Structure 1
Amino acid sequence: MIENILNHMTLEEQVSLLSGADFWTTVPVERLGVPKIKVTDGPSGARGAGSLVAGVKATCFPVAIALGATWNPDLVKRMGVALAGQAKSKGASVLLAPTVNIHRSGLNGRNFECYSEDPLLTAELAVAYIKGVQSGGVAATIKHFAGNESEIERQTMSSDIDERSLREIYLLPFEQAVKKAGVMAVMSSYNRLNGTYTSEHEWLLSQVLRKEWGFDGIVMSDWFGSHSTAATLNAGLDLEMPGPTRDRGEKLVQAVRDGEVKAETVREAARRILTLLERVGAFEATPDLTEISLDLPEDRALIRQIGADGAVLLRNDGILPLAKTTLDSIAVLGPNAAEARVMGGGSAQIAAHYTISPLQGIRAALSNANSVHHAAGCSNNRLVNVFAGDMHVDYFKGRELKGGPVHSEPAERGEFFWFDLPSAELDPADFSARIIASFVPADSGEHVFGMTNAGLAKLYVDGKLVVNGYDGWAPGDNYFGTANSEQRQAVELEARRSYTITIEYCSPADTSDGIHLTAIRFGVEKPLGDAAIEEAVAKAAACDVALLFVGREGQWDTEGLDLPDMRLPGRQEELIEKVAAVNARTVVVLQTGSPVEMPWLDKVQAVLQIWYPGQELGNAVADVLFGDGEPGGRLPQTFPKSLSDNSAITDNPLVYPGQDGHVRYDEGVFVGYRHHDTSDIAPLFPFGFGLGYTQFAWGEAKASSTVMGEDGITVTLDVTNTGKRKGSEVVQLYVRALDATVSRPEKELRAFAKIELEAGKTVTATLRVTPRDLSFFDVEAKAFRSDPGQYELVIAANASDVRSRIAIENPSLWLGRVDDPSI
């Protein structure tokens, strides 16, 4: 069928398939019965075509680092199956996920969107995710290919990575997604790789991806990530997104006529697009692009289960789990206590069906909700709290708010991200809007108004200009670098008086190059001061236990910018210290998308890392705190004692954050625990670490052979739950090369098994290693190379807790060619 369609297509029709029709759909060819299909973000839910912050409600699943912490491919696969159903509920045939870039610096704004610092753990979870999604007839899109480990100047930065490090660390998850999961789509990254944009990187897209790995799906650009016409297509980029086209269309037709692109190259790219349509069933039934809200009880239960399974108990001096019946009073404190921080920021955001805060979850879990006492203590938001309340929005043609509005609508939240404008009469490059809201402060005193805008805007309070986002506008650190840095202004307000807030907005004038978006966010808040901390401390002193919910939120952990450091923002560390000083029974619950330094660690009784676990946040954390669920997580990323202990943090800015358009991965393969082990730098918490509520006894590890053969070696180990309650354990197998001929890490993760056991039960963990697991990448041989000699199989509970070692021998040289689909 596809061949017949291609034979009847004109060059122009073939070219039309190679760029999007709009932000989310492909171009149909109605004459030949070729339908259009819809794609949708993202990793933690299927948003559909709506705004990042509005639109049809969607199910909000845990973020990727929380999935990484589960070490549970079976559970991740179940989430993939659920996401396929969610994508279909939004009329989408392609899900733009998973994200498998590696945790390199600990400061990456999208660290939360990625699984792990380890390529094997990342690969195993990504394969499971993809298999789950694609089992539901929805294409998964693995991203961002490749070298996108930072958000700093990401649209132009060159990630300079040697080939060995690429092959061993950064490309492995992509390779396994192709070879083991049959992923249907790959998304190129914004950045350059060794000087060349990945969207036009022939070695990466054609040589490695297609010829060596055998990938037969489509390669699409990240949104606005295509920079050329002939170069991208010749390199292997099939689909330019979004549409309408900027680099293809008539430009590509002319490039074919001028001999810059072969007609056969266009045909092959068009064939791959048509094959994708066939694989997702678009020819069998024309896709219904209608979006509905699908809130399923089984999805709710799965999110709650993943939340507990990915929760990592980092410290516990016997206080957890809390006994509900013995607590007369609980202080639930901190900036993340009453706020449901369920997701990170950027394109991963969705409009969740609902969100449950920790405070709500704890109150629901207790028979006496009156025993719970709350105080925020301090704030941790990067931007001024977004306005919430009744608003009215008028939209105008042109950028000058002239004439009558062509569309009017109510709104409830002071954030607008216009992928699609509410009227076909409005041009994204030439429209304006007036937003009118009223604000009644609860207390008198100084309030701060803040606004950030992609486009130009002014904010007035009772007709007086307060925030000027118009004059002197310059791009800053919001909305992927398309908006200015937040502009703030303090104003004295009176309690219970109504103030009129008016925002006048106009779209960006220049949309000729780069990422261009139309968005605005405004808010108002009364800053918390010493009195707020004093209130929290007083409530902590008066209660049996103090639960401190601290961390970050989606304006810190977000696409578009990296973190400034590895500390808790605002006055949170001060809050922890002061609460712990008055209540010895203090538990810290962390919500971050990456590691944090903990100078306060020894002053609290327990620390629980809960990440951003989706819409069931409050219920999941209550399950773990009160023992209705097990904290089943293990760290997918090393937590260093200080930022300077990270391998990417050196005195050379070229290594991180980058310099003169280049960031050089000088640490090579020594990322995360590989660096800590080999350099003998003790971490705060090692890779793979996590406590539970029960105890396990490990038997003697046994190997099927002590000589590596073509079929590999199987290692078995009996694990017994010697405690009084159900729990889970992760058996980790690392390989150590004793006779290494090149610089190699002390040990490298090569297999793992997550097991769940009732009290008193025993199970046998089975792990397998192959010749490739002993290897490093030999650049000259273009192969993975296992030298003859002595190796150790290191059986461990985490990277710092080795339980046993098995000496093995590799009797002869083994070379695994890069184009061998079996390795």
Structure 2
Amino acid sequence: MATSTRLDIDRTLAKLTLGQKVKLLSGFGWWHTTPVPEADIPAIRMSDGPNGVRGTRFFNGVPSSCFPSSTGLGSSFDTELAAEVGKALADECHAKGCHILLGPTVNTQRSPLGGRGFESFSEDPHLNGTIAAAYINGLQSKGVAATIKHFVANDQEFERFSISSDVSERALREIYLKPFQIAVKEANPWALMTAYNRLNGLHCSENKWLLDDLLRKEWGYKGMIMSDWTGTYSTAESIQAGMDLEMPGPTVMRGNAVIRAIVAEKLFPHDVDTCVLEMLQRAYDSGIPFDAPERPLDTPQVRALLRRAAADAIVLLKNEKGLLPIGAGVHKIAVIGPNAKDAVTSGGGSASLLSTYTVSPLDGITEAAKEIGAEVEYTVGTLSHQYLPAIDPYITYDGKTGAFFEFWNDSPTDDWLSTSPNFSRVVPPAVWSTRTNSAKCFLADGIDDTKVNEICWLRASRHLFTTTFVPDEDGDWEIGMNIAGRGNLFIDDKLIIELSIDPKQGDSFFGLGTVDVRTVMKGLKAGTKHRVEVRLSNEAFIAKGAPFATRGGIRLSAMRQIDLEDGMKRAVDLAKASDIVILVVGLNNDWESEGYDRQNMDLPGLTNRLVAGVLAANPKTVVVNQSGTPVEMPWIGDAHTLLQSE
């Protein structure tokens, strides 16, 4: 583990060969710049943000503090809080050996349906930029580089790599560029990330007017400019425009292509003398070691800030009858709704992470109710998920929650992806294996690259101990699975879900996965163990041309089947029998995520009907909507008490 020392930039640059300089123009793997050991240049580590520091692994990552979505932080209008959050994120970057945090996001959303709308602070350019500046100043005060993103007009996920955001210059400057301009002026972010999309027909990562004329020369920006992941579409054009770093690695548009462009005099050596070394100096100055082990940072002080930030992100929209705060004299509180029992901590995609500390609304209300001697009773009412909830609470391996994954570089058997394989066949030893605590796995990282090839076969899992599925209630259970690759799910050696024969494309795994396929297993008994095995290969997935290296992905889900009409009746009956109802509804990371947009502003499923029914049953109802982007509320005229949470 290299320690930080002062770097002489001019001397280092002078002794580098052209080939070594070219190495610095692209990443090494998902989360590092390319090291040049012979020149004593280590790899700089990055991590996704903006609401947490996930570290270097989607798969089996180190737990992280999950702060409220940026929309929530913006709703606080509290620049001091934003700076505190930035400082806390910097502390976690130090704990994870991370020099560059990939946040904040300050895109101004043209549409309320944008999948990543929750990542930005506000649709108001001034508030967006002002909160971002405070966040950046807090983060960088502790030596960690902020990466303001995505420059610019990255407004939708649909066809995000190719879509053109066509904007007049006045609207561009007054609305879409303004938050970036404010943050550059007031906080000087040390890094900036270009957007995937085109701006008025030309990709942002190779737009010389945008990156050089406006950002560098007009605004005087001196920091490093990197691409979004796989968002570099040219060699000479992107370098001439001023885009310093292609991410992730291995390079696609740089490397030998840069050398060839120099030979052809489309580029010149001085074009390659970029500010990547300036960012390296920032990394040295930070005091963060290079190639450091990652560790969680979960302290009472961090938990207190997480709680305060979450509280300040809640907005009281209506309290017309003075129902809040709830005080003495209330004996029974009904907690109802699909967002009540589980802690929905963030949107999906780059913002997703494994949280160190969460408290669900139901748990929080139950604990607070003890202070006034009130009883709390819960029912879900209806469902709001797009995908079934992950099977994680119901699977065990070797007596512990989780599953076991094994990897091979060749198909272990000739019937590996068959819908009726011979389970008694002995398979060769796996080249690498690991256990995981979740059956929702994006296998882009966290795997031993020295042992597992890019094209591989895997199983989850029946090695030594069997992975088992144990329902906690009697009844019919819905089972769902989507994957990136081709594969099948077997339970008790019977085919349950087939995704091995030309599966249809879906939205999962950043748009690389299959559709989610569901089936029903009838008459399951609580406590009964069922053997689970998923067989998967990414061979066909890679052959189709994946935009980045990944071993695929698995999302395995399960829940007891619920009669929606019965659920609605239970909710109404509980509301009638209670003094006060707290109804927690909204969206979750199935609906708000990188990779796809929402189709409309409706609350999911039968949520609106549930709200209307509960309000009619008990007017003393506090409605809590949890979402990072706007939703329609056709019942709002009947709701006299309404909270917006992120």
Q: So what's the TM-score if we normalise by structure 2?
A: 0.91
Contact kept? 2:164, 2:200, Cα under 8 Å? yes
TM-superposed deviation, 1:42: 0.4
TM-superposed deviation, 1:164: 1.1
Matched, 1:484 2:484: no
1:90-132 Cα deviation digits (max 9, x unpaired):
1000000000001221101111101111111111111111111
The separation in 1 between residues aligned to 2:225 and 2:412, in whole angstroms, is: 41
The structure-2 alpha-carbon separation of the partners of 1:426 and 1:489, relative to structure 1 and needing over 3 Å to count, comes to: farther
Instruction: Name the SS of the counterpart of 2:28 in structure 1.
Output: coil
Instruction: Name the SS of the counterpart of 2:437 in structure 1.
Output: strand
Matched, 1:526 2:537: no
The separation in 1 between residues aligned to 2:375 and 2:597, in whole angstroms, is: 40
Instruction: Name the SS of the counterpart of 1:485 in structure 2.
Output: coil
- Residue in structure 2 matched with residue 287 of structure 1 by the alignment: 290
| Structural RMSD (CA) | 1.8
Supply the AA of the counterpart residue of 2:480.
G
The separation in 1 between residues aligned to 2:255 and 2:450, in whole angstroms, is: 24
Matched, 1:500 2:531: yes
The separation in 2 between residues aligned to 1:498 and 1:74, in whole angstroms, is: 51
1:416-465 Cα deviation digits (max 9, x unpaired):
11232433444452112111332233444432221111122211222222
The 5 A counterparts of 1:653-672 are none
Matched, 1:468 2:493: no
Supply the AA of the counterpart residue of 2:412.
L
TM-superposed deviation, 1:68: 1.0
- Residue in structure 2 matched with residue 749 of structure 1 by the alignment: none
Contact kept? 2:31, 2:47, Cα under 8 Å? yes
Matched, 1:176 2:182: yes
Matched, 1:395 2:406: yes
The 5 A counterparts of 1:210-249 are 210-249=216-255
Supply the AA of the counterpart residue of 2:236.
A
Instruction: Name the SS of the counterpart of 2:495 in structure 1.
Output: strand
Matched, 1:340 2:343: yes
TM-superposed deviation, 1:294: 0.6
- Residue in structure 1 matched with residue 627 of structure 2 by the alignment: 592
Supply the AA of the counterpart residue of 2:216.
R
Supply the AA of the counterpart residue of 1:520.
I
Supply the AA of the counterpart residue of 1:144.
H
- Residue in structure 2 matched with residue 38 of structure 1 by the alignment: 45
Matched, 1:323 2:356: no
The separation in 1 between residues aligned to 2:185 and 2:601, in whole angstroms, is: 36
The separation in 2 between residues aligned to 1:103 and 1:319, in whole angstroms, is: 34
The separation in 1 between residues aligned to 2:488 and 2:51, in whole angstroms, is: 34
Instruction: Name the SS of the counterpart of 2:27 in structure 1.
Output: coil
Matched, 1:378 2:382: yes
- Residue in structure 1 matched with residue 204 of structure 2 by the alignment: 198
- Alignment identity in percent? 38
Query: Aligned match of 2:101 in 92, 95, 116?
Result: 95
Instruction: Name the SS of the counterpart of 1:378 in structure 2.
Output: coil
- Residue in structure 1 matched with residue 4 of structure 2 by the alignment: none
- Residue in structure 1 matched with residue 607 of structure 2 by the alignment: 572
Contact kept? 2:54, 2:353, Cα under 8 Å? yes
Higher Rg of the two aligned structures: 1
The structure-2 alpha-carbon separation of the partners of 1:76 and 1:285, relative to structure 1 and needing over 3 Å to count, comes to: closer
The separation in 2 between residues aligned to 1:353 and 1:286, in whole angstroms, is: 23
The separation in 1 between residues aligned to 2:292 and 2:608, in whole angstroms, is: 48
Matched, 1:23 2:27: no
The separation in 2 between residues aligned to 1:428 and 1:563, in whole angstroms, is: 36
The 5 A counterparts of 1:256-335 are 256-267=262-273, 269=274, 272-281=275-284, 286-335=289-338
The separation in 2 between residues aligned to 1:119 and 1:242, in whole angstroms, is: 30
Supply the AA of the counterpart residue of 1:592.
S
Contact kept? 1:38, 1:289, Cα under 8 Å? no
Supply the AA of the counterpart residue of 2:579.
D
Taking CA–CA contacts closer than 8 Å with sequence separation of 6 or more, which of the two structures ends up with the larger relative contact order?
2
- Residue in structure 1 matched with residue 148 of structure 2 by the alignment: 142
The separation in 1 between residues aligned to 2:410 and 2:285, in whole angstroms, is: 40
- Residue in structure 2 matched with residue 351 of structure 1 by the alignment: 354
The structure-2 alpha-carbon separation of the partners of 1:366 and 1:230, relative to structure 1 and needing over 3 Å to count, comes to: same
The separation in 2 between residues aligned to 1:203 and 1:597, in whole angstroms, is: 39
Matched, 1:603 2:638: yes
The separation in 2 between residues aligned to 1:521 and 1:423, in whole angstroms, is: 21
TM-superposed deviation, 1:539: 1.3
- Residue in structure 2 matched with residue 419 of structure 1 by the alignment: 444
The separation in 1 between residues aligned to 2:313 and 2:286, in whole angstroms, is: 39
The separation in 2 between residues aligned to 1:7 and 1:552, in whole angstroms, is: 54
The structure-2 alpha-carbon separation of the partners of 1:465 and 1:35, relative to structure 1 and needing over 3 Å to count, comes to: same
Instruction: Name the SS of the counterpart of 2:33 in structure 1.
Output: coil
Matched, 1:509 2:520: no
Contact kept? 2:407, 2:433, Cα under 8 Å? no
1:184-230 Cα deviation digits (max 9, x unpaired):
11101111111111111111111111111111111111111112222
The separation in 2 between residues aligned to 1:249 and 1:576, in whole angstroms, is: 57
Contact kept? 1:178, 1:215, Cα under 8 Å? yes
Q: So what's the TM-score if we normalise by structure 1?
A: 0.72
The separation in 2 between residues aligned to 1:125 and 1:151, in whole angstroms, is: 24
TM-superposed deviation, 1:12: 0.3
Count of residues in correspondence between the two structures: 607
The separation in 1 between residues aligned to 2:452 and 2:537, in whole angstroms, is: 11
Instruction: Name the SS of the counterpart of 1:413 in structure 2.
Output: coil
The structure-2 alpha-carbon separation of the partners of 1:421 and 1:67, relative to structure 1 and needing over 3 Å to count, comes to: closer
Supply the AA of the counterpart residue of 1:360.
D
The 5 A counterparts of 1:599-678 are 599-611=634-646
The separation in 2 between residues aligned to 1:372 and 1:178, in whole angstroms, is: 49
TM-superposed deviation, 1:324: 3.1
Supply the AA of the counterpart residue of 2:42.
P
Query: Aligned match of 2:434 in 409, 422, 434?
Result: 409
Contact kept? 2:432, 2:452, Cα under 8 Å? no
The separation in 1 between residues aligned to 2:307 and 2:633, in whole angstroms, is: 27
The separation in 2 between residues aligned to 1:178 and 1:339, in whole angstroms, is: 38
TM-superposed deviation, 1:234: 1.4
Greater strand fraction, Structure 1 or Structure 2: 1
The separation in 1 between residues aligned to 2:509 and 2:39, in whole angstroms, is: 39
- Residue in structure 2 matched with residue 4 of structure 1 by the alignment: 11
TM-superposed deviation, 1:321: 2.1
Matched, 1:457 2:461: no
Instruction: Name the SS of the counterpart of 1:321 in structure 2.
Output: coil
The separation in 1 between residues aligned to 2:45 and 2:396, in whole angstroms, is: 32
The separation in 1 between residues aligned to 2:264 and 2:67, in whole angstroms, is: 49
- Residue in structure 1 matched with residue 618 of structure 2 by the alignment: 583
- Residue in structure 2 matched with residue 361 of structure 1 by the alignment: 364
The structure-2 alpha-carbon separation of the partners of 1:288 and 1:406, relative to structure 1 and needing over 3 Å to count, comes to: closer
The structure-2 alpha-carbon separation of the partners of 1:356 and 1:34, relative to structure 1 and needing over 3 Å to count, comes to: same
Matched, 1:132 2:165: no
- Residue in structure 1 matched with residue 468 of structure 2 by the alignment: 438
1:460-499 Cα deviation digits (max 9, x unpaired):
2222222222212243211111112212223323223432
The 5 A counterparts of 1:99-114 are 99-114=105-120
Contact kept? 1:406, 1:425, Cα under 8 Å? no
Contact kept? 2:615, 2:638, Cα under 8 Å? yes
Supply the AA of the counterpart residue of 2:542.
A
The separation in 1 between residues aligned to 2:559 and 2:410, in whole angstroms, is: 29
- Residue in structure 2 matched with residue 186 of structure 1 by the alignment: 192
1:72-101 Cα deviation digits (max 9, x unpaired):
112111111111111111100000000000
Contact kept? 1:394, 1:405, Cα under 8 Å? no
Contact kept? 2:483, 2:553, Cα under 8 Å? yes
The separation in 2 between residues aligned to 1:17 and 1:154, in whole angstroms, is: 27
Supply the AA of the counterpart residue of 2:63.
K
The structure-2 alpha-carbon separation of the partners of 1:284 and 1:42, relative to structure 1 and needing over 3 Å to count, comes to: closer
Instruction: Name the SS of the counterpart of 1:366 in structure 2.
Output: helix
1:564-602 Cα deviation digits (max 9, x unpaired):
111110111111111112112011011011111111112
Contact kept? 1:393, 1:433, Cα under 8 Å? no
